[in-house]
Amino acid sequence: MPDVAGLLQLHNAHGDSAVISLYGAQLLSWQTADGREHLYCTPEPSLKPGASIRGGVPVCFPQFSGRGALPKHGLVRNLVWQIDGDVLSGAGQDVAYARLSLSDSDATRALWPHSFALQLQVELGAGWVSVALNVTNTGDSAFDFTTALHTYLATPDVRNAGVAQLGKVRFTDTTVGNDEAIHDGSVLRIADETDNIYWEPPAALVLQQDGKQFLQIEQQGFADSVIWNPGPIKAAQLGDMPAQDWTRMLCIEAAQIGHPVRLSPQATWRGLQRLGRAV
Ligand SMILES: O=P(O)(O)OC[C@H]1O[C@@H](O)[C@H](O)[C@@H](O)[C@@H]1O
């Protein structure tokens, strides 16, 4: 867990816990009652102004990655969000809960001239956590956006991990000139840099470790999924995580990229990702 200010702790009646940073509204830690940490977070976050924390669940909005004119992954992963309403946490809570919010400001309007309100809702249940992003258009004209919950999952060794249940889905491999292909239905293995956008994959994927089911990853509202690992060469160049940590993480991101959301005034879009211990 990096040493950053503004951390919100959640606990529930079952012994699960979570930590959310107000910086970026980023879920940084999710531990199940067995003491296992399920999210990767760098021990060496960048302290440069504007940098985001590499780990947990960064929120990408209103642009995914470099697919547009805005800064990479948009505007909100390095802003301070507010706690919105009551935080429900403690031994009496079957499901712990927190909501954070962020609205447009002079800084966001300077880059993207739209009025919006974001809410991020985190629920922590027995062996599961969910992160929901609500986007409301508070202006008087429609806007388009792309978005993602850029989840860094912790893996004991990504080279022995696999992603199952992708099926025969169309994907774009952005490491090789945006080549398009159809996934062959097998378990995806990670041996090197991987940066694939899966277009409308099944809503539930399974992370395997050593051939066993490890974690279930479900999404609602988000149409696409991204699977990213920098591999050894890019990891060594990143500068904000130890070079060998590429083996300790795998991003499985709930994303909306192929069809940007067009949001009318006063309308709200909602997307959710749920992570659960595989049983
Ligand atoms: O280093 P960043 O800005 O956090 O981005 C990390 C990665 O995020 C992924 O979502 C993208 O598909 C990758 O292309 C990108 O490298």
Q: Is the CB of 77 under 6 A from ligand 1?
A: no
| CA geometry: angle 173, 261, 199, nearest 5 deg | 25
Q: Is the CB of 253 under 6 A from ligand 1?
A: yes
Residue nearest to atom 11 of ligand 1 (CA): 65
pLDDT, tens digit, for every residue of 215-261? Answer: 999 999 999 999 999 999 999 999 999 999 999 999 999 999 999 99
Whether 2 has a pLDDT exceeding 70, the answer reads no
Ligand 1: residue of 46, 65, 246 to mutate (most ligand atoms within 8 A of CB) is: 65
Q: Is the CB of 235 under 6 A from ligand 1?
A: no
Q: Is the CB of 73 under 6 A from ligand 1?
A: yes
Position in ligand 1 atom list of the atom nearest CA 77: 4
Instruction: Say what the pTM is.
Output: 0.97
Token output for 180: 């398009």
Who's near 71: CB < 8 A, 6+ residues apart? 50, 63, 111
| CA geometry: angle 56, 57, 60, nearest 5 deg | 140
- Its ipTM equals 0.98
CB neighbour burial string for 211-231, b if at least 16 within 10 angstroms, e if fewer: eeebbbbbbebbbbbbbbbbb
> Residue 132 in 3-state DSSP?
strand
Position in ligand 1 atom list of the atom nearest CA 174: 14
Whether 47 has a pLDDT exceeding 90, the answer reads no
Who's near 53: CB < 8 A, 6+ residues apart? 2, 4, 21, 23, 24, 26, 28, 41, 42, 45
Cβ proximity of 255 and 222 under 8 Å: yes
CATH topology of domain 7-154+219-277: Beta-galactosidase; Chain A, domain 5 (2.70.98)
Cβ proximity of 260 and 224 under 8 Å: no
Position in ligand 1 atom list of the atom nearest CA 238: 1
Give residue 177's pLDDT.
84
Ligand 1: residue of 195, 196, 246 to mutate (most ligand atoms within 8 A of CB) is: 195
Residue nearest to atom 8 of ligand 1 (CA): 65
* pLDDT range class, residue 5, cuts 50, 70, 90: confident
Give residue 131's pLDDT.
99
Position in ligand 1 atom list of the atom nearest CA 73: 3
Write out the H or E segment, with its range, that includes residue 194: strand 194-198
